Chains A and B, each alone.
Chain A
Amino acid sequence: MTSQPAFRVQNLTFGYRGAHQPVLAGLSFEIPQGAVTAILGPNGAGKSTLLHLLLGWHRPQSGQILLHGKPLSAYRRAGLSRAVGLVPQREHVPFAFRVREYLLLGRSPHLGMLAMPNEQDLALVEAALQRLGIVHLADREVASLSGGEHQLVLIARALVQGAPVVLFDEPTAHLDLGNKYRILELLQALVTEGRTVVFTTHDPQAAAPIAEHILLLRQGRLLFAGAPAEALTADRLSALYATSLQVVHLAEHTVVLPTKRPAGGVK
Chain B
Amino acid sequence: MASRHPHRAKFILLGLGALGLLALSALVGRYPALPGLTPATLRHDPLAQRLVADLRLPRVLAAFLTGAVLAVSGLTMQMVFRNPLVEPGFLGVSQGAAFGAALAILYFSTSPWAIQASAAIFAMLGLALTYALARRLRYGGWILRMVLAGIAVSALFSAGVGLLKYLADPLTQLPEIVFWLLGGLWATRWDNFLVILPPTLIALALLYLSRWRLNLLSLSEEAAFSLGAAPGRERLALLTLSVVATAAVVSLAGMVGWVGLMIPHLARRLFSADARYALPASLLLGGTFTLLCDDIARTLVNGEIPLGILTSLLGAMAFVALLATTPTEGQST
A226 shortest CB reach to chain B, Å: 28
CB contacts under 8 Å to A, within B225-244, are 225-230, 234
How many interface residues does A have (CB within 8 Å)? 40
Judge whether B228 and A97 touch: CB under 8 Å.
Answer: no
Judge whether A108 and B228 touch: CB under 8 Å.
Answer: yes
Nearest to B276 among chain A residues (CB) is A116
A156 shortest CB reach to chain B, Å: 13
In the complex with contacts A94-B83, A96-B268, A101-B4 CB distance below 8 A: no
Judge whether B330 and A105 touch: CB under 8 Å.
Answer: no
Q: Specify which chain B residues have a CB less than 8 angstroms from the CB of A56 in the assembled complex.
A: 225
Q: Within the assembled complex, what's the spacing in Å between the Cα atoms of A95 and B76? A: 12
Q: Within the assembled complex, what's the spacing in Å between the Cα atoms of A96 and B79? A: 11
A97 shortest CB reach to chain B, Å: 5
Q: Specify which chain A residues have a CB less than 8 angstroms from the CB of B209 in the assembled complex.
A: 114
Question: Per a CB cutoff under 8 Å, which of B1, B210, B229, B234 touches A98?
Answer: B1
Q: Specify which chain B residues have a CB less than 8 angstroms from the CB of A96 in the assembled complex.
A: 268, 273, 329-330, 332
Q: Specify which chain A residues have a CB less than 8 angstroms from the CB of B228 in the assembled complex.
A: 77-78, 80-82, 108-109
In the complex with contacts A81-B226, A101-B274, A143-B332, A94-B1 CB distance below 8 A: no
Nearest to B330 among chain A residues (CB) is A143
Q: Specify which chain A residues have a CB less than 8 angstroms from the CB of B42 in the assembled complex.
A: none
Residue in A86, A88, A108 with the greatest tally of chain B CB atoms within 10 Å = A108
Q: Within the assembled complex, what's the spacing in Å between the Cα atoms of A117 and B274? A: 12
Q: Within the assembled complex, what's the spacing in Å between the Cα atoms of A115 and B226? A: 18
Q: Within the assembled complex, what's the spacing in Å between the Cα atoms of A129 and B22? A: 44
Judge whether A52 and B222 touch: CB under 8 Å.
Answer: yes
Judge whether B229 and A108 touch: CB under 8 Å.
Answer: yes
The reply on B302 being an interface residue by CB < 8 A is no
Question: Per a CB cutoff under 8 Å, which of A84, A92, A98, A119 touches B220?
Answer: A92
Q: Specify which chain A residues have a CB less than 8 angstroms from the CB of B227 in the assembled complex.
A: 81, 105-106, 108-109, 161
Looking at chain A's contact residues, the main secondary structure is mixed
A48 shortest CB reach to chain B, Å: 9
Chain B window 306-333, contacts with chain A (Cβ cutoff 8 Å), 1 for yes, 0 for no: 0000000000000000000000011111
The reply on B216 being an interface residue by CB < 8 A is yes
Question: Per a CB cutoff under 8 Å, which of A94, A101, A109, A111 touches B330?
Answer: A94
The reply on B218 being an interface residue by CB < 8 A is yes
Q: Within the assembled complex, what's the spacing in Å between the Cα atoms of A241 and B173? A: 72
CB contacts under 8 Å to B, within A54-101, are 55-57, 77-78, 80-82, 84-86, 88, 91-98, 100-101
A141 shortest CB reach to chain B, Å: 5
Q: Within the assembled complex, what's the spacing in Å between the Cα atoms of A85 and B225? A: 10
B6 shortest CB reach to chain A, Å: 11
Judge whether B220 and A91 touch: CB under 8 Å.
Answer: yes
The reply on A113 being an interface residue by CB < 8 A is yes
The reply on A144 being an interface residue by CB < 8 A is yes
Judge whether A95 and B84 touch: CB under 8 Å.
Answer: yes
Residue in B215, B228, B230, B272 with the greatest tally of chain A CB atoms within 10 Å = B228
Nearest to B264 among chain A residues (CB) is A95
In the complex with contacts A77-B228, A81-B228, A97-B273 CB distance below 8 A: yes
Judge whether B222 and A86 touch: CB under 8 Å.
Answer: yes
Q: Within the assembled complex, what's the spacing in Å between the Cα atoms of A57 and B82? A: 19
The reply on A264 being an interface residue by CB < 8 A is no
Q: Specify which chain A residues have a CB less than 8 angstroms from the CB of B268 in the assembled complex.
A: 95-96
Q: Within the assembled complex, what's the spacing in Å between the Cα atoms of A117 and B212? A: 8
Q: Specify which chain A residues have a CB less than 8 angstroms from the CB of B220 in the assembled complex.
A: 88, 91-92
Judge whether A86 and B329 touch: CB under 8 Å.
Answer: no
In the complex with contacts A94-B84, A94-B329, A105-B226 CB distance below 8 A: no
Q: Within the assembled complex, what's the spacing in Å between the Cα atoms of A141 and B223? A: 18
Judge whether B222 and A57 touch: CB under 8 Å.
Answer: yes
Question: Per a CB cutoff under 8 Å, which of B82, B215, B333 touches A101?
Answer: B215
Chain B window 44-83, contacts with chain A (Cβ cutoff 8 Å), 1 for yes, 0 for no: 0000000000000000000000000000000000010011
Judge whether A143 and B331 touch: CB under 8 Å.
Answer: yes
The reply on B138 being an interface residue by CB < 8 A is yes
Nearest to A144 among chain B residues (CB) is B333
Question: Per a CB cutoff under 8 Å, which of A94, A98, A113, A122 touches B218?
Answer: A94
A-B contact pairs, 10 of them (CB 8 A): A18-B138, A55-B225, A80-B228, A88-B226, A94-B82, A95-B268, A105-B219, A108-B228, A114-B210, A117-B212
What residues make up the interface of A, taking CB atoms closer than 8 Å to B? 18, 52, 55-57, 77-78, 80-82, 84-86, 88, 91-98, 100-101, 105-106, 108-109, 111, 113-117, 119, 122, 141, 143-144, 161
The 6 closest A-B pairs by CB, nearest first: A109-B228, A81-B228, A86-B226, A95-B273, A108-B227, A78-B228
Q: Apart from A92-B330, A95-B79, list 15 A-B contacts with CB within 8 A.
A: A55-B226, A85-B226, A88-B226, A91-B223, A92-B220, A94-B82, A95-B273, A96-B332, A97-B274, A108-B216, A116-B212, A119-B4, A143-B331, A143-B333, A144-B332
